[in-house]
Amino acid sequence: MPRRVRILGRKKALTSYPKVLINDPTGNRKSRFPSNQITTTKYTLLNFLPKNLFEQFRRVTNIYFLCIVIITLIPAISPLTPWTSILPLAFVLGTTALKEGYEDFGRYKADNKVNNKKYYVMKRDGTFAKKTSKSLVVGDIVKIMSDQNFPSDIVPLVSALDDGVCFVETAQLDGETNLKIYKAPVATNSMDPEKIPNITGYVEAEVPNHRLYNFVGTLNVEGETHSLNYQNLLLRGATLRNTEWAIGVVVYTGKYTKLSLNQKLPPSKFSTVERRLNKAVIGIFVFKMGCVISMTVGSAVFNHEGIRDNWYLDIDISASYQTIRDFFSYFALLSFMIPMSLMVTLEVVKVIQGKFMEWDKRMALDPDDVAETGMAVKTTNLNDELALVKYIFSDKTGTLTENRMIFQKVSINGVIYHEAGKGELKTELKSGSDNAEAIRDFLTNLSICHAAVPDVDEETGDLVYKSQSPDEVALCDGSRLNGFTFKTRTQTDVTIEAMGETISFETLNVLEFTSDRRRMSVIVRLPESMGGGIRIYSKGADSMMLSLLRDGDDDIKQKTLDDIELFCKEGLRTLILGYKDVTEDEYEEWNTVFHKAETALEDRDNKIDEASKLMERDFIIIGATAIEDKLQDEVPETIYNLLRAGIKVWVITGDKQATAINIGHSCKLLKDSMEIMVCNAESSDECRDLLKSYVDRYCAHPRKRSDPELGLVIDGHTLNYALEEHAQHFLQITKLCHSVVCCRVTPIQKANIVKLIKENTHEVCLSIGDGANDVSMIQEAHIGVGIYGNEGTQAARSADYAIRQFRHLRCLITIHGRYSFLRNSGLIQYSIYKNAAAFLVQFWYGFYSGYSANTIYDDLIITLFNIIFTSVPPFFYAIFEKDIEPDIIDQYPEVFRRVQTGYQFSYSSLFVWVLNAIWHSIIFFFGGVILLGNEPFYGNGRSTGLRVMGNMVSTIAITIVILKCAIFTNHWNILVHCGIWGSIAAYFLVFLVESYIPAIFRNQYHQFVICFQSPMFWLMFLVAIFVCLVPDIFGKFLQRELYPEDWQILQEAQQVKTLDKVDAALQRKLAADKNPDEIVEELDPEDA
């Protein structure tokens, strides 16, 4: 059913696109097509402030703190000056606004650059005038020069090359640098450009949609209708190459170009840490409300008794009014228990962590050029989620392998040629082999049945082939190596050089390859030297081609299948080739049906597919090809490393089972010591019985560590039954499996596998791939990783992280993911701790102040607490913290298990931090109460009072919470030192300045000297530090000595240079045939 869209200016949603009139600008204006101006910015100068504030106040935390600001603006109920809440909130809002404004300004400059590019537009007299891109309108006749980008979606009318052929690079659309052939319609492809202003007609196009490789339309010129497909639409963002010029009519502009329709936001993904943080903030709010309500109840009781008994308080308002006022006062006073700046700090930290990933030379192809050959981070909010990965789902071709195909072997007419990749077929032809005719048919098929484009290497001058499929390039190279060279192609013919003889074939129809068809066919008229007549050549996957072969030829079929099985066991990729001769009458009858299908405006693809099936049958089998796709560097080591880290790895591929198993062994995913379960079923019942037998065998009893590891190999046909009808049994088995290989899998099955595991295991899943067929799997997973591959960058563009090779995944997950989780967990829990520890003092003070909601702290100290005094140490911690060095993690990936469970940031760990904060707040306040309870006098006869006690408590509280950060910091550098000691110094400096500016800080006059001259202060200071921090230090010492964790053993071994002993212990355990999962867990501290 056509997609409903709304054309700009129309109120009614349309199900069709208006006709694009050629050489009739007045008629086109009536259709009110959209402007070609592109705007990707989020804001304008006028709406930036209101819109940005609206966006920020969609966050519940910002609304909460806005309520606090409003309360502090009401003097009757606020115990604080408004600046204590206004400045911190303004800091958070301002920082976020600056970040968003900077990003949007970058988009604005990019838009301006694109919108103001100039292009030649044909006038009515046939001359050309320059016009900016944003000024182009639908119906304009535009002339594009070589190496120019197309400013809109254009139907070409004529080009500088024969038959209106245009060579186009679509790298900005799909990342593919290989040139593609686009064509002008037959009606205009040979027209003199000067005659274009005189033609009349229109283009009838489908409703704008995002599908890059689908276009349905017709061109009506001088009363004749011609079909248009995706090869007749030059897309905005693509570039004209190797073609001097091309002239076409603008069909889609602005937001209705396919480029704009593909520029949508990726699906929102939230990390486990973020979800836990949101719940933690709710929990803290509930805790805070409990404190507020308890203080309010206390206030009600005290005020009720105070009216009668405490006459000296001069309470001249009703107890109920006082209680309501105290509720709002305590609501504001205790609001700082929720760290206001945490969210923005966490966001900035994640961006910096992402930059560290992009700058990491270990994840760059060329360490000296990280900017061009490094990785890209698209979604920084998932940095810490990388540490929780339990499942990896990987494509094979281009992900584990190089996707650089090498033509190796062939089977022709039942005969294997092992040296075909070295020109053996050419030798056979020269020697007059008995199989020469079949070899010629085979090589002819290879050289004409493809979509490759010939090009000339600028450096060497050699002929090279470019195609979006590396397989086609390998097959063309293999054909050329054996004497059949593909030379040129036009819309009407294809020319090859066969054993030195130039031969041209008239191209009648091309039935193109799709992921559903999994085959390609070309219908040609043979030259007279080959006997004339019409022939269809076809090649495709054996799963598709076998059913299309003619009856008979059983011996050759079986021999070819046996050869294919042999090739697959060697890990080679295979295709079956066939052909069929067609009579003129058969072709004309079929072509009538096909022409109707390709000119249909609705359901064209399905109609073309049905018409193609009428011709693609009863093929004569010629043979099969075998192409090698080598593994990338360090793939076996990477997979072994990930398995040792406790991650289950699944390889999902479209290859045959034998090929998939061979690759599984090559990359160490499958091992000889494994028990491998193979699932091949022809029916649902058979699938159920097979899975149930495995469940009964392996799931009935708990598996022991000494039991061999399990592996599963399952094909796509069986997988359909397993996913749709027997998911429970399938899940039971896969949970026990060390690794899984899925073969003959379609793109939609890839996504369904990920969805099943994600929804039923509730574990973090990561998908990695390199092609467009992996996009659905990548977006389905919690984390998507794309590889910049030979199949383009569709996967990389759709992913959360884009890397260059599979081996970089090891560093991304086990090192950067691990560090990010530890850093962000520490930042969050410490931020909650420091605010709770410092501001729960206000709660305890309420019991001693008659529940009056007065503050014990100075207002400026409260204001700067989160902005300056305690913001820098956790910020630098979240950027630089590392417990052990990257090389150690790489050598002992088992330490990844420390973070994989997520216990470092769980509700229990957060509860411990909060208990610690409560304990420290008690020490801060009641230490002062005990030591200053008798209100000692100074030499001048003055007593200490509330202000002195408040400054003593704030000094001790801020110093201790900063030193607490120092205690759990493992990695120290100059910035961490500056952050810790500089923050303490900053507090003392502010306190000193306050004490000597009485005109501004009246209550703080001379307080610095009073505090630091007091012996009681120093006693309280030392006792508080001892009581608060020494238990932490002593507890860490005991834990390290008695119950050390694996990372602590390796940390100490690294520091004292005894890693060789740890490595020796590791080798001993490996020699004893231990499971690698147990190795570091069993290491003895004495080994270090």
**Would you name the residues annotated as active-site residues?**
395
Neighbours of 99 (CB within 10 A): 14
Token code pair at residue 14 = 């349309």
Burial 543-566 (b: 16+ CB within 10 A, else e): bbbbebbeeebeebbebbbebbeb
DSSP of 200-238: -EEEEEPPP-S-TT---EEEEETTEEEEE-GGG-BPTT-
3-state SS class at 1008: helix
Query: Is the CB of residue 164 less than 8 Å from the CB of residue 157?
Result: yes
Query: Is the CB of residue 183 less than 8 Å from the CB of residue 260?
Result: no
3-state SS class at 14: strand
Q: Looking at the DSSP assignment, which residues form a beta bridge with residue 626?
A: 409, 574
Virtual CA dihedral for 799, 727, 738, 759, nearest 10 degrees? Answer: 40
Q: Is the dihedral of CA 780, 786, 789, 795 positive or negative?
A: positive
Q: Looking at the DSSP assignment, which residues form a beta bridge with residue 204?
A: 218
Token code pair at residue 430 = 């020269």
Neighbours of 361 (CB within 10 A): 12
Helix residue spans in 431-541 (DSSP H): 436-448, 470-481
Q: Looking at the DSSP assignment, which residues form a beta bridge with residue 219?
A: 203, 226
Say how many residues make up the chain.
1088
3-state helix, strand, coil in the chain (%, to 5): 50, 15, 30
Query: Rounded distance, CA 839 to CA 843, Å?
Result: 7
- How far does CA 249 lie from the centroid of its chain? 37
Element (H, E) at 945: helix 945-967
CB within 8 A of 559, min separation 6: which ones?
Answer: 411, 414
DSSP of 388-447: GEEEEEEESTTTTB----EEEEEEETTEEETTGGGTHHHHHHHTT-TTHHHHHHHHHHHH
Query: Is the CB of residue 534 less than 8 Å from the CB of residue 583?
Result: yes
DSSP state of 254: G
Token code pair at residue 45 = 């100068």
Token code pair at residue 414 = 């039942």
- How far does CA 216 lie from the centroid of its chain? 32
**Pick from 888, 859, 884: which is nearest to 1003 by CA?**
859
Query: Rounded distance, CA 840 to CA 856, Å?
Result: 11
Neighbours of 703 (CB within 10 A): 12
Query: Is the CB of residue 185 less than 8 Å from the CB of residue 228?
Result: yes
Helix residue spans in 519-571 (DSSP H): 542-545, 554-569
3-state SS class at 283: helix
Query: Rounded distance, CA 1049 to CA 1086, Å?
Result: 9
DSSP state of 198: G
Helix residue spans in 1004-1083 (DSSP H): 1007-1012, 1015-1042, 1046-1055, 1059-1071
Q: Looking at the DSSP assignment, which residues form a beta bridge with residue 802?
A: 376, 786
- Return the residue matching tokens 């000597």: 996
